[in-house]
Every structure is written in structure tokens, then in C-alpha cells.
Amino acid sequence: MHAYFWLTEYSFNTLIYQAHMFGYLKLRITKHDFPYSARRFMETTCSSGDCIGAFVPEIGEKYPDSAVEVSVETAVRPVATLTPDRMTINLSTAMEVQVKSVDNNVRTLASTNASITLSFVPEMRQQNLIGKITLHSLSLSNVKFLNGQVLSTPVQMDNALTKLIGLTIIPKLNVLADRGVKLPIAGGVRFVNTYISVKQGYVIVGTDVTKTW
């Protein structure tokens, strides 16, 4: 037997709302969250020029030989929008950038609001709705840097945080997305040859249905 199921934006936004409310979208990023080969990115001093102290020289000059940590959390409920062939998720987040010295003294360097846009391609793996983030973008606003000075979207900080997201948050989200969400189906029912089609405002899941009892 072949069957079709419809899922609307409301279904996806309900899942995202629960993740937001229960704190699943709250992260603290340290160098240990990076691939081993990229951990120097979170340091304030480097010779290669590929660390946050090089991206934002003020940090490297004021706090040499230290490590940067970043806290990220959603400020309001994220919004998912379905368009043909993809889902876009818009997140309004609050970020705090801190520096940790060798003696474990922690100081706040900057705080900022960040609008993050994720482009997500849904897929089906048998009974599981999975997917992969293919694109992401970030835009900063209300940046308060170092001694309380307010800067208008500094390019250096924007570039550094964009790279940070690409190296840490996106891979973590893709691991979760590859695990997927199992569709609620009755016991003894199996989906085979499952596929998904993303439309404007909804998705259609088509599948052959078999019974195992």
C-alpha cells in the first residue's frame, strides 16, 4: 500500500519552539568544541594569523596568550519557513564573548545580538525525517565591545563569529539532523521507499507501507 502524509510549517515550528523553551538552543563554545586541527582559532595569540586574536586585533593586543569562549542562546522563538526544496530557519540570538586567561580568570569582551539564517534540506530515511544544513549566514547588531564601546557591526567580529559557527555549531546541528526525528506511526507498521517533497508552506511524505504483524 502506498500512502502520503502532509506536514505543515506549524509542525516544524512546534518542535523548534520546544527546543527553545527547554534550553536545547543554548550553547557555550570553547576550543574543545572545535576539530583538533582548528582549536587554535579560539586563541588570542597565533603566528599563523588564523585565530580570533588575528581576526579582531584589539582582543589579541589586550589579552595575549588567552582563550576565547562564546555563549549563544536564542532570544526569541526561532521561525521555520518552508519553500520549494528547502526549509529556512531564522534565529535571533544573544551572544557573549569572553576571554579566559592562563590563570582561569574570565572577562567579558563583547556582547551582541546575532541574526542567524540556516538553510536546511529535509530528507527521509525510512521512518526518520532527517536533513542537512547547506548554507548559513550571520548578521550582528548592537555590538558592545571591550570597554562598553558600541560599534556598528564590526566586520572583524562578524567574520570571526561566522567562521566559529561554521566550524562548531553547524557540524553539531548536522549530527542531530542526520539522526532525525522518527515519524509517529503505529506499532507493526513499516515505511519503505520513502521520499519527501518540500512545497510552499508544507511537505509531502510519500511511502510504501508494510505491516509486520
Domain of 31, in residue numbers: 9-179
Q: Is residue 161 part of a domain?
A: yes
Average pLDDT, the chain: 87
What residue has cell string 540570538? 93
Mean pLDDT, rounded, for 64-81: 94
Q: Is residue 41 part of a domain?
A: yes
Q: Is residue 173 part of a domain?
A: yes
Q: Is residue 17 part of a domain?
A: yes
Per the structure, the count of domains in the chain is 1
pLDDT at residue 72, as a whole number: 93
Question: 208: Cβ–Cβ under 8 A, 6 or more apart, which residues?
Answer: 1, 2, 3, 191, 192, 193, 194
pLDDT at residue 202, as a whole number: 96
What residue has cell string 582559532? 41
Instruction: Please check whether residue 180 is in contact with residue 128, taking contact to mean a CB–CB distance below 8 angstroms.
Output: yes
Enter the pTM of the model: 0.82
Chain segment 23-49, per-residue pLDDT in tens: 888 999 999 998 888 899 999 999 888
Distance CA 24, CA 184 (A): 22
Distance CA 121, CA 135 (A): 10
pLDDT at residue 146, as a whole number: 65
pLDDT at residue 82, as a whole number: 97
Chain segment 135-167, per-residue pLDDT in tens: 888 888 887 776 666 555 567 778 888 888 888
pLDDT at residue 157, as a whole number: 79
Question: 53: Cβ–Cβ under 8 A, 6 or more apart, which residues?
Answer: 43, 44, 45, 46, 59, 60, 63, 64
pLDDT at residue 154, as a whole number: 64
Q: Is residue 108 part of a domain?
A: yes
Residue 213: pLDDT band with limits 50, 70, 90 = low
What is the CATH number for 120? 3.15.20.10
pLDDT at residue 147, as a whole number: 66
Q: Is residue 193 part of a domain?
A: no
Q: Is residue 29 part of a domain?
A: yes
Q: Is residue 2 part of a domain?
A: no
Q: 4 or 190: which carries more pLDDT confidence? A: 4
